Amino acid sequence: MSEDAPDRSAAPTSVKQSEVQQGAGFPRAARLLKHSDFDRVYKQGRRHFSSHMTVFYLRQVKGNARVGLTVGRVLGGAVQRNRIKRRLREAVRLQRALLQGAVDVVINPKKSVLTVEFAVVVEEMSRAFGVIAKKLAEK
């Protein structure tokens, strides 16, 4: 073993879910999955524009907040699209608690999400979710 290699003998063998931040996940129940749900949000929902993404949202009668991502081929090859999705999923995971009530949200990113600092993506997601929560509270 070289001197530069970290000592992994004291590393824990597994991490329990209770030790990880509670409520900060992105479970299947919190995702939009059906094509018909995406279409409904696009056609009947409202929009929030920001510099790196467009966020569509639609109030629902019952249920919890659900979030969906659309990353089309126009944004690049598979590697770039997957990287955009990973960055957006993490930003949603970190800011999902701001969404309260029954609302469906679809995030449509711009290509700039790939190159901008991750903190900017998280801040923009936070701002968008805050605007959505405020608009839904008004009605």
CATH topology of domain 27-132: Ribosomal Protein S5; domain 2 (3.30.230)
Give the DSSP per-residue string, the chain. --SSS---TTS-S---GGGSPTT----GGGB---HHHHHHHHHH-EEEE-SSEEEEEEE-SSS--EEEE---GGG-SHHHHHHHHHHHHHHHHHHGGG--SSEEEEEEE-GGGGTS-HHHHHHHHHHHHHHHHHHHHH-
Structure confidence at residue 16 as a pLDDT band (50, 70, 90):
very low
User: Is residue 4 over pLDDT 90?
Assistant: no
Lowest pLDDT segment from 31-35, 108-112, 135-139: 135-139
- Smallest CA-to-CA distance from 122 within 107, 135, 133, 134 is with 107
Domain ranges of the chain: 27-132
User: Is residue 12 over pLDDT 60?
Assistant: no
User: Is residue 119 over pLDDT 70?
Assistant: yes
Q: What is the pTM of this model?
A: 0.80
